[in-house]
Structure 1
Amino acid sequence: MTATTSQRELFQFLEDRFACAQACTECARACALRASLVDPDGTPEQELVRRKGIMCAEVCDATCRVLSEQNHLDEESIRVQLEWCRSVCLESAHVFDQYPGAEDSAKVCRECAQACSDFMATLV
């Protein structure tokens, strides 16, 4: 028995949604870890890295919840959440690029931003 086109589209949509949620989870972990490694009483540069890490972790976590839970958000609300996450991830990646040792965190943030962009492209 083969799946109908609408079933295949639904499966693809759910797979894409899960992939984006997974990227958000990985980014939230990486950013929370990055923030925890920075001295809260450090230099202004360190404080910026810490704040961006915390903010990115919180936004990615919220986005993952929106994507993972059965909710009644309309497509536009999901799109707004994805755009917010994408934007925060790119900002965080830029800050992490300037901080020695944070390259892996920057990479994970960019991957999450790309996953958000990819999933937004599937929304009609």
Structure 2
Amino acid sequence: MDGGNPTGVTSTTQQELFQFLEDRFACAQACTECARACALRASLVDTDGTEEQELVRRKGIMCAEVCDATCRVLSEQNRLDESGMRIQVEWCRTVCLECAHVFDRHPGAEDGAKAARDCARACTEFLATLD
């Protein structure tokens, strides 16, 4: 052991691991918040409304489902390979950005749009740790 680190583990490797875990947790937490906000927004939309309202509802539901799935992937201790994790997180980021753009056009959906953007940002930050 050298400086409190197990043999073969450098402090840089340990710092990278901590950053990876912190970003992974932050991404999972942002996904959870986004899923809640999008599900709430989807439930508030009048289903007998316009095509735009239906789009908001569908995007909200889709975003909530993708964020929920991504959170589960990030929270589980499974051995999902890095490329599988990257695909899931990139998909989540894309869906969140699409959802935020749709929510931007709908009065009263500001909280959902912010949560979606925050989640997309957390996904981007986590993806940077995979490079």
TM-score, structure 1 length as denominator? 0.94
Answer yes or no: is 1:67 the counterpart of 2:69.
no
Answer yes or no: is 1:90 the counterpart of 2:104.
no
Answer yes or no: is 1:40 the counterpart of 2:47.
yes
Structure 1: gaps spanning 5 or more residues: none
Q: 69, 83, 92: which is aligned to 1:76?
A: 83
| Whole-Å separation in 2 of the counterparts to 1:2 and 1:113 | 36
Larger Rg over CA atoms: 2
What residue identity is the alignment partner of 1:95? Answer: V
Q: How many residues align?
A: 124
**Deviation (angstroms), 1:2:** 5.2
What residue identity is the alignment partner of 1:40? Answer: T
| Whole-Å separation in 2 of the counterparts to 1:7 and 1:121 | 16
Q: 44, 56, 61: which is aligned to 2:63?
A: 56
What residue identity is the alignment partner of 2:127? Answer: M
CA RMSD of aligned residues (A): 1.3
| Whole-Å separation in 2 of the counterparts to 1:95 and 1:119 | 24
Percent of residue pairs bearing the same amino acid type = 78
**Deviation (angstroms), 1:13:** 1.3
Structure 2: gaps spanning 5 or more residues: none
**Deviation (angstroms), 1:44:** 0.8
| Whole-Å separation in 2 of the counterparts to 1:101 and 1:17 | 30
**Deviation (angstroms), 1:42:** 1.5
Aligned to 2:113: 106
Q: Is the 8 A contact 2:19 2:129 kept in 1?
A: no
Report the secondary structure of 2:26's partner residue. Answer: helix
Aligned to 2:33: 26
